[in-house]
Structure 1
Amino acid sequence: MTALHLDDLKQYSDVLRAKNGSEIKVRFVEPRDREELQSYIRSLSAGSRYNRFLGALSELPKTELERFVHVGEADRFTVVATMLVDGFETVVGEARYAFHADTSSVEFGLSIDDRWQGHGIGKALLKNLECRAASFGAERIFGDTLRSNATMIGLARKSGYAFAASPGDWKLVRFAKEIHVEPQDIPCASWRLAATSRSAAMSSLAV
Protein backbone atom coordinates (compact mmCIF):
# COMPACT_ATOMS: atom_id res chain seq x y z
CA MET A 1 0.00 0.00 0.00
CA THR A 2 1.06 3.57 -0.59
CA ALA A 3 1.32 5.99 2.32
CA LEU A 4 -0.39 9.13 1.05
CA HIS A 5 -2.66 11.34 3.15
CA LEU A 6 -5.66 11.17 0.85
CA ASP A 7 -7.70 13.41 3.14
CA ASP A 8 -5.49 16.34 2.11
CA LEU A 9 -4.83 16.02 -1.61
CA LYS A 10 -3.74 19.64 -2.06
CA GLN A 11 -0.36 18.96 -0.45
CA TYR A 12 0.50 16.78 -3.44
CA SER A 13 0.05 19.50 -6.06
CA ASP A 14 3.05 20.36 -8.22
CA VAL A 15 3.87 23.36 -10.38
CA LEU A 16 5.64 22.55 -13.66
CA ARG A 17 6.64 24.67 -16.63
CA ALA A 18 5.79 24.44 -20.32
CA LYS A 19 8.39 25.21 -22.98
CA ASN A 20 7.40 28.87 -23.02
CA GLY A 21 7.58 29.16 -19.24
CA SER A 22 3.83 28.98 -18.67
CA GLU A 23 2.83 27.51 -15.32
CA ILE A 24 1.30 24.02 -15.31
CA LYS A 25 -0.36 22.75 -12.14
CA VAL A 26 -0.51 18.99 -11.63
CA ARG A 27 -2.87 17.76 -8.95
CA PHE A 28 -4.91 14.75 -8.01
CA VAL A 29 -8.36 14.71 -9.52
CA GLU A 30 -11.28 15.03 -7.10
CA PRO A 31 -14.94 14.01 -7.37
CA ARG A 32 -15.82 17.67 -8.05
CA ASP A 33 -13.77 17.38 -11.27
CA ARG A 34 -16.06 14.69 -12.68
CA GLU A 35 -17.76 16.81 -15.35
CA GLU A 36 -14.65 18.78 -16.27
CA LEU A 37 -12.64 15.59 -16.73
CA GLN A 38 -15.36 14.09 -18.90
CA SER A 39 -15.52 17.28 -20.97
CA TYR A 40 -11.76 17.11 -21.44
CA ILE A 41 -11.98 13.51 -22.68
CA ARG A 42 -14.78 14.45 -25.08
CA SER A 43 -12.73 17.38 -26.41
CA LEU A 44 -9.82 15.17 -27.47
CA SER A 45 -9.66 14.27 -31.13
CA ALA A 46 -10.88 10.79 -32.05
CA GLY A 47 -7.27 9.80 -32.73
CA SER A 48 -6.03 11.04 -29.36
CA ARG A 49 -8.81 9.19 -27.52
CA TYR A 50 -8.05 6.04 -29.50
CA ASN A 51 -4.36 6.27 -28.62
CA ARG A 52 -5.04 7.00 -24.95
CA PHE A 53 -7.59 4.26 -24.33
CA LEU A 54 -6.39 1.78 -26.96
CA GLY A 55 -9.76 1.72 -28.65
CA ALA A 56 -12.64 3.84 -29.91
CA LEU A 57 -14.77 5.75 -27.41
CA SER A 58 -16.37 9.18 -27.27
CA GLU A 59 -16.29 9.56 -23.50
CA LEU A 60 -15.47 7.61 -20.36
CA PRO A 61 -18.19 5.12 -19.40
CA LYS A 62 -19.84 6.13 -16.12
CA THR A 63 -18.26 3.33 -14.10
CA GLU A 64 -14.81 4.14 -15.48
CA LEU A 65 -15.29 7.85 -14.79
CA GLU A 66 -16.11 7.05 -11.16
CA ARG A 67 -12.92 5.01 -10.88
CA PHE A 68 -10.93 7.89 -12.33
CA VAL A 69 -12.20 10.46 -9.81
CA HIS A 70 -11.73 8.32 -6.68
CA VAL A 71 -8.04 8.60 -5.94
CA GLY A 72 -6.17 5.80 -4.21
CA GLU A 73 -8.59 2.92 -4.69
CA ALA A 74 -6.50 -0.21 -5.25
CA ASP A 75 -3.41 2.04 -5.41
CA ARG A 76 -4.66 3.72 -8.59
CA PHE A 77 -4.44 7.46 -9.05
CA THR A 78 -5.56 10.09 -11.55
CA VAL A 79 -3.99 13.51 -11.97
CA VAL A 80 -4.91 16.46 -14.14
CA ALA A 81 -2.57 19.06 -15.60
CA THR A 82 -4.17 22.50 -15.64
CA MET A 83 -3.24 25.94 -16.95
CA LEU A 84 -4.83 29.35 -16.74
CA VAL A 85 -6.46 29.96 -20.12
CA ASP A 86 -8.32 33.25 -20.53
CA GLY A 87 -8.41 33.55 -16.74
CA PHE A 88 -9.89 30.10 -16.09
CA GLU A 89 -8.21 26.95 -14.75
CA THR A 90 -8.38 24.60 -17.74
CA VAL A 91 -7.49 20.92 -17.96
CA VAL A 92 -4.82 20.48 -20.64
CA GLY A 93 -3.73 16.94 -19.79
CA GLU A 94 -4.39 13.95 -17.58
CA ALA A 95 -2.64 10.81 -16.44
CA ARG A 96 -3.64 7.69 -14.55
CA TYR A 97 -1.14 5.49 -12.81
CA ALA A 98 -1.13 2.38 -10.67
CA PHE A 99 1.40 1.10 -8.16
CA HIS A 100 2.08 -2.64 -8.37
CA ALA A 101 3.72 -3.55 -5.07
CA ASP A 102 4.41 -7.15 -6.14
CA THR A 103 6.73 -5.98 -8.92
CA SER A 104 7.82 -2.63 -7.40
CA SER A 105 6.58 -0.91 -10.53
CA VAL A 106 4.24 1.86 -11.62
CA GLU A 107 2.12 1.57 -14.77
CA PHE A 108 0.72 4.69 -16.40
CA GLY A 109 -1.13 6.21 -19.33
CA LEU A 110 -1.49 9.88 -20.22
CA SER A 111 -2.99 12.30 -22.71
CA ILE A 112 -2.49 15.93 -23.65
CA ASP A 113 -5.12 18.22 -25.17
CA ASP A 114 -4.56 18.30 -28.95
CA ARG A 115 -4.37 22.11 -28.86
CA TRP A 116 -1.53 22.00 -26.33
CA GLN A 117 0.59 19.23 -27.78
CA GLY A 118 4.11 20.32 -28.69
CA HIS A 119 4.38 22.73 -25.75
CA GLY A 120 6.44 20.43 -23.50
CA ILE A 121 3.50 19.53 -21.27
CA GLY A 122 3.79 15.79 -21.93
CA LYS A 123 7.51 15.80 -21.10
CA ALA A 124 6.94 17.74 -17.88
CA LEU A 125 4.06 15.48 -16.85
CA LEU A 126 6.09 12.35 -17.55
CA LYS A 127 8.95 13.59 -15.34
CA ASN A 128 6.43 14.30 -12.61
CA LEU A 129 5.04 10.76 -12.89
CA GLU A 130 8.57 9.43 -12.47
CA CYS A 131 8.86 11.40 -9.21
CA ARG A 132 5.55 9.97 -8.03
CA ALA A 133 6.70 6.44 -8.87
CA ALA A 134 10.00 6.92 -7.03
CA SER A 135 8.15 8.19 -3.95
CA PHE A 136 6.31 4.86 -3.75
CA GLY A 137 9.63 3.03 -3.76
CA ALA A 138 9.03 1.75 -7.29
CA GLU A 139 12.07 0.55 -9.21
CA ARG A 140 10.45 0.70 -12.63
CA ILE A 141 7.86 2.76 -14.49
CA PHE A 142 6.19 1.57 -17.68
CA GLY A 143 3.30 1.99 -20.08
CA ASP A 144 1.80 0.35 -23.13
CA THR A 145 0.75 2.13 -26.30
CA LEU A 146 -0.25 1.35 -29.84
CA ARG A 147 2.65 0.76 -32.23
CA SER A 148 1.10 3.47 -34.41
CA ASN A 149 1.20 6.09 -31.63
CA ALA A 150 4.25 7.97 -32.86
CA THR A 151 3.74 10.88 -30.44
CA MET A 152 3.86 8.77 -27.27
CA ILE A 153 6.66 6.60 -28.61
CA GLY A 154 8.68 9.71 -29.47
CA LEU A 155 8.10 11.20 -26.00
CA ALA A 156 9.14 7.97 -24.28
CA ARG A 157 12.23 7.60 -26.45
CA LYS A 158 13.38 11.17 -25.75
CA SER A 159 12.79 10.55 -22.04
CA GLY A 160 15.11 7.54 -21.92
CA TYR A 161 12.63 4.66 -22.02
CA ALA A 162 13.50 1.25 -23.44
CA PHE A 163 11.07 -0.56 -25.74
CA ALA A 164 9.86 -4.16 -25.91
CA ALA A 165 6.86 -6.09 -27.18
CA SER A 166 3.84 -5.77 -24.91
CA PRO A 167 2.94 -9.16 -23.40
CA GLY A 168 -0.14 -10.67 -25.00
CA ASP A 169 -0.94 -8.06 -27.67
CA TRP A 170 1.10 -7.64 -30.83
CA LYS A 171 -0.56 -4.28 -31.58
CA LEU A 172 1.04 -2.70 -28.51
CA VAL A 173 4.56 -1.75 -27.56
CA ARG A 174 5.77 -1.44 -23.97
CA PHE A 175 8.10 1.36 -22.90
CA ALA A 176 9.83 1.11 -19.54
CA LYS A 177 12.44 2.90 -17.47
CA GLU A 178 14.39 1.80 -14.42
CA ILE A 179 14.18 4.31 -11.56
CA HIS A 180 16.55 3.63 -8.68
CA VAL A 181 16.35 6.88 -6.73
CA GLU A 182 16.92 7.39 -3.02
CA PRO A 183 14.12 9.37 -1.31
CA GLN A 184 16.35 12.38 -0.67
CA ASP A 185 17.39 12.47 -4.34
CA ILE A 186 13.89 12.68 -5.87
CA PRO A 187 13.88 15.93 -7.89
CA CYS A 188 10.25 16.93 -7.17
CA ALA A 189 10.05 18.61 -3.75
CA SER A 190 6.57 17.40 -2.75
CA TRP A 191 7.37 13.81 -3.68
CA ARG A 192 10.81 13.95 -2.05
CA LEU A 193 9.00 14.92 1.16
CA ALA A 194 6.40 12.18 0.70
CA ALA A 195 9.14 9.60 0.12
CA THR A 196 11.25 10.63 3.12
CA SER A 197 8.13 10.59 5.34
CA ARG A 198 7.25 7.13 4.03
CA SER A 199 10.81 5.91 4.63
CA ALA A 200 10.81 7.28 8.18
CA ALA A 201 7.45 5.63 8.92
CA MET A 202 8.69 2.28 7.64
CA SER A 203 11.87 2.59 9.73
CA SER A 204 9.87 3.29 12.89
CA LEU A 205 7.71 0.23 12.26
CA ALA A 206 10.81 -1.91 11.87
CA VAL A 207 12.17 -0.92 15.29
Structure 2
Amino acid sequence: MLRTQLARVLRDPERKPPGDGVEIRPARMNDEERLRRFLAGLSLRTQTLRFFTGVSRPSASMVRAMIAVDGRRDVLLAVHEDVVVGHAMSFAGSGSDVEIALVVADEWQGRGIGSRLARRLLRRAGASGARTLGMDVLCENRTVLSMVRRAWPEATMKATSGTVEVTVAMDP
Protein backbone atom coordinates (compact mmCIF):
# COMPACT_ATOMS: atom_id res chain seq x y z
CA MET A 1 0.00 0.00 0.00
CA LEU A 2 2.81 2.42 0.90
CA ARG A 3 4.50 1.77 -2.45
CA THR A 4 1.21 2.40 -4.28
CA GLN A 5 0.65 5.65 -2.41
CA LEU A 6 4.14 6.94 -3.14
CA ALA A 7 3.98 5.84 -6.79
CA ARG A 8 0.73 7.76 -7.28
CA VAL A 9 2.15 10.87 -5.65
CA LEU A 10 5.33 10.78 -7.67
CA ARG A 11 3.80 10.51 -11.15
CA ASP A 12 4.53 13.99 -12.39
CA PRO A 13 4.97 14.83 -16.08
CA GLU A 14 7.32 17.72 -15.22
CA ARG A 15 9.80 15.51 -13.41
CA LYS A 16 13.36 15.40 -14.68
CA PRO A 17 14.63 12.27 -16.43
CA PRO A 18 14.96 9.29 -14.09
CA GLY A 19 18.10 8.76 -12.10
CA ASP A 20 19.31 5.95 -14.34
CA GLY A 21 22.48 4.26 -13.25
CA VAL A 22 21.94 5.17 -9.60
CA GLU A 23 22.43 2.32 -7.16
CA ILE A 24 20.66 2.38 -3.79
CA ARG A 25 22.81 0.52 -1.28
CA PRO A 26 23.59 0.36 2.43
CA ALA A 27 26.29 2.75 3.65
CA ARG A 28 29.72 1.35 4.46
CA MET A 29 32.41 2.73 6.70
CA ASN A 30 34.65 3.39 3.68
CA ASP A 31 31.97 5.81 2.35
CA GLU A 32 33.09 8.52 4.78
CA GLU A 33 35.00 10.65 2.23
CA ARG A 34 32.32 10.19 -0.47
CA LEU A 35 29.65 11.36 1.97
CA ARG A 36 31.75 14.33 3.12
CA ARG A 37 32.14 15.50 -0.51
CA PHE A 38 28.41 14.98 -1.10
CA LEU A 39 27.43 17.08 1.93
CA ALA A 40 29.90 19.84 1.10
CA GLY A 41 28.52 20.01 -2.45
CA LEU A 42 24.90 20.60 -1.43
CA SER A 43 23.52 24.09 -1.93
CA LEU A 44 22.88 26.13 1.20
CA ARG A 45 19.14 25.80 0.57
CA THR A 46 19.30 22.00 0.32
CA GLN A 47 21.54 21.81 3.39
CA THR A 48 19.09 23.97 5.32
CA LEU A 49 16.05 21.96 4.25
CA ARG A 50 17.73 18.75 5.45
CA PHE A 51 19.73 19.87 8.50
CA PHE A 52 17.86 23.10 9.38
CA THR A 53 21.22 24.90 9.02
CA GLY A 54 24.14 25.13 6.61
CA VAL A 55 26.89 22.51 6.87
CA SER A 56 29.33 23.65 4.19
CA ARG A 57 32.22 22.08 6.13
CA PRO A 58 30.76 18.91 7.64
CA SER A 59 32.75 17.69 10.64
CA ALA A 60 34.31 14.24 10.70
CA SER A 61 32.07 13.27 13.62
CA MET A 62 28.95 14.34 11.72
CA VAL A 63 29.96 12.31 8.67
CA ARG A 64 30.74 9.26 10.80
CA ALA A 65 27.37 9.57 12.53
CA MET A 66 25.64 9.72 9.15
CA ILE A 67 27.09 6.40 8.00
CA ALA A 68 26.98 4.54 11.32
CA VAL A 69 24.58 1.60 11.28
CA ASP A 70 23.54 -0.22 14.43
CA GLY A 71 20.45 -1.76 15.96
CA ARG A 72 18.75 1.64 16.12
CA ARG A 73 19.91 3.18 12.83
CA ASP A 74 19.87 2.26 9.15
CA VAL A 75 21.61 4.22 6.39
CA LEU A 76 21.24 4.01 2.62
CA LEU A 77 23.16 5.84 -0.08
CA ALA A 78 22.27 6.60 -3.67
CA VAL A 79 25.48 6.24 -5.66
CA HIS A 80 26.20 7.08 -9.30
CA GLU A 81 29.60 6.12 -10.71
CA ASP A 82 31.08 5.92 -7.18
CA VAL A 83 29.75 9.40 -6.28
CA VAL A 84 27.12 9.79 -3.55
CA VAL A 85 24.05 11.59 -4.93
CA GLY A 86 21.65 10.85 -2.06
CA HIS A 87 21.60 9.89 1.61
CA ALA A 88 18.78 8.47 3.70
CA MET A 89 18.72 7.33 7.27
CA SER A 90 16.23 5.95 9.72
CA PHE A 91 16.57 5.74 13.46
CA ALA A 92 14.48 4.63 16.40
CA GLY A 93 12.11 7.51 17.06
CA SER A 94 10.89 9.05 20.25
CA GLY A 95 7.29 9.70 19.17
CA SER A 96 7.20 6.98 16.48
CA ASP A 97 8.80 3.58 15.84
CA VAL A 98 11.10 5.01 13.19
CA GLU A 99 12.07 8.49 12.05
CA ILE A 100 13.55 9.17 8.64
CA ALA A 101 15.62 11.90 7.05
CA LEU A 102 16.95 12.11 3.51
CA VAL A 103 18.63 14.45 1.09
CA VAL A 104 19.44 14.31 -2.62
CA ALA A 105 22.11 16.33 -4.43
CA ASP A 106 20.68 19.44 -6.04
CA GLU A 107 21.36 18.34 -9.62
CA TRP A 108 19.72 14.94 -8.98
CA GLN A 109 16.53 16.25 -7.36
CA GLY A 110 13.25 15.58 -9.14
CA ARG A 111 14.44 12.28 -10.68
CA GLY A 112 12.82 9.89 -8.22
CA ILE A 113 15.98 9.18 -6.23
CA GLY A 114 14.55 10.50 -2.96
CA SER A 115 11.44 8.38 -3.49
CA ARG A 116 13.54 5.28 -4.13
CA LEU A 117 15.58 5.94 -1.00
CA ALA A 118 12.43 6.49 1.09
CA ARG A 119 10.68 3.36 -0.21
CA ARG A 120 13.70 1.15 0.44
CA LEU A 121 14.26 2.64 3.89
CA LEU A 122 10.61 2.21 4.85
CA ARG A 123 10.54 -1.39 3.57
CA ARG A 124 13.58 -2.18 5.70
CA ALA A 125 12.07 -0.44 8.74
CA GLY A 126 8.77 -2.27 8.26
CA ALA A 127 10.59 -5.59 8.02
CA SER A 128 12.20 -4.76 11.37
CA GLY A 129 8.79 -4.20 12.95
CA ALA A 130 8.25 -0.44 12.63
CA ARG A 131 4.57 0.50 12.44
CA THR A 132 4.71 4.28 12.83
CA LEU A 133 6.80 6.76 10.88
CA GLY A 134 7.93 10.19 11.97
CA MET A 135 9.85 13.01 10.36
CA ASP A 136 10.61 16.66 11.04
CA VAL A 137 10.22 18.99 8.07
CA LEU A 138 10.93 22.70 7.88
CA CYS A 139 7.70 24.65 7.38
CA GLU A 140 9.16 26.20 4.22
CA ASN A 141 9.79 22.77 2.63
CA ARG A 142 6.52 22.82 0.69
CA THR A 143 7.66 20.08 -1.70
CA VAL A 144 8.05 17.50 1.04
CA LEU A 145 4.99 18.65 2.99
CA SER A 146 2.84 18.39 -0.15
CA MET A 147 4.20 14.93 -0.91
CA VAL A 148 3.46 13.79 2.65
CA ARG A 149 -0.07 15.19 2.51
CA ARG A 150 -0.78 13.41 -0.81
CA ALA A 151 0.87 10.11 0.19
CA TRP A 152 -0.55 10.00 3.70
CA PRO A 153 -3.66 12.16 4.01
CA GLU A 154 -4.19 10.66 7.48
CA ALA A 155 -0.78 11.87 8.71
CA THR A 156 -0.70 13.99 11.82
CA MET A 157 1.15 17.25 11.24
CA LYS A 158 2.05 19.47 14.17
CA ALA A 159 3.76 22.82 13.53
CA THR A 160 6.27 23.82 16.20
CA SER A 161 8.87 26.61 16.01
CA GLY A 162 9.25 26.63 12.23
CA THR A 163 9.12 22.86 11.78
CA VAL A 164 6.37 20.37 11.15
CA GLU A 165 6.41 17.11 13.08
CA VAL A 166 4.86 14.44 10.86
CA THR A 167 3.59 11.14 12.25
CA VAL A 168 1.87 8.46 10.19
CA ALA A 169 0.90 4.81 10.59
CA MET A 170 2.83 2.58 8.20
CA ASP A 171 0.94 -0.07 6.28
CA PRO A 172 1.89 -3.59 7.35
Q: TM-score range by the shorter chain?
A: 0.7 to 0.9
- Residue type of the alignment partner of 2:91: A
Which stretches in structure 1 are left out of the alignment for 5+ residues?
A: 1-17, 182-207
Equivalent positions of 1:29-68 (< 5 A) are 29-68=27-66
C-alpha displacement at 1:104, in angstroms?
6.0
Taking a change above 3 Å as real, the CA distance of residues 109 and 69 of structure 1, as seen in their structure-2 partners, is same
Equivalent positions of 1:19-34 (< 5 A) are 20=18, 22-34=20-32
Provide the rounded CA distance (Å) in 2 between the counterparts of 1:158 and 1:126.
15
Which secondary structure does the structure 1 equivalent of 2:36 belong to? helix
CA contact (8 A) 1:123 1:155 kept: no
What are the Cα deviations for residues 134-161 of structure 1, in whole angstroms up to 9, with x where unaligned? 0110111110011001222233233326
Which secondary structure does the structure 1 equivalent of 2:46 belong to? helix
**Corresponding residue of 2:10:** none
Quick check: 1:126 aligned with 2:118? yes
Q: Which has the larger radius of gyration?
A: 1
- Residue type of the alignment partner of 1:31: M
Quick check: 1:99 aligned with 2:88? no
What are the Cα deviations for residues 107-152 of structure 1, in whole angstroms up to 9, with x where unaligned? 0110011101111111222211220120110111110011001222
Normalized against structure 1, the TM-score is what?
A: 0.67
Quick check: 1:178 aligned with 2:145? no
4+ residue runs over 6 A deviation = none
Equivalent positions of 1:9-24 (< 5 A) are 20=18, 22-24=20-22
Provide the rounded CA distance (Å) in 2 between the counterparts of 1:19 and 1:177.
30
Which stretches in structure 2 are left out of the alignment for 5+ residues?
A: 1-15
Within the candidate set 153, 156, 160, 2:145 is matched to: 153
- Report the count of equivalent residues: 156
Provide the rounded CA distance (Å) in 1 between the counterparts of 2:86 and 2:19.
17
**Corresponding residue of 1:77:** 74
Provide the rounded CA distance (Å) in 1 between the counterparts of 2:120 and 2:145.
18
CA contact (8 A) 2:96 2:134 kept: no
Provide the rounded CA distance (Å) in 1 between the counterparts of 2:139 and 2:148.
13
**Corresponding residue of 2:133:** 141
Which secondary structure does the structure 1 equivalent of 2:82 belong to? strand
User: Greater relative contact order: 1 or 2 (C-alpha under 8 angstroms, separation 6 or more)?
Assistant: 2
Provide the rounded CA distance (Å) in 2 between the counterparts of 1:46 and 1:21.
22
CA contact (8 A) 1:80 1:94 kept: yes
User: What's the RMSD between the two structures over aligned residues?
Assistant: 2.2
Provide the rounded CA distance (Å) in 1 between the counterparts of 2:34 and 2:169.
34
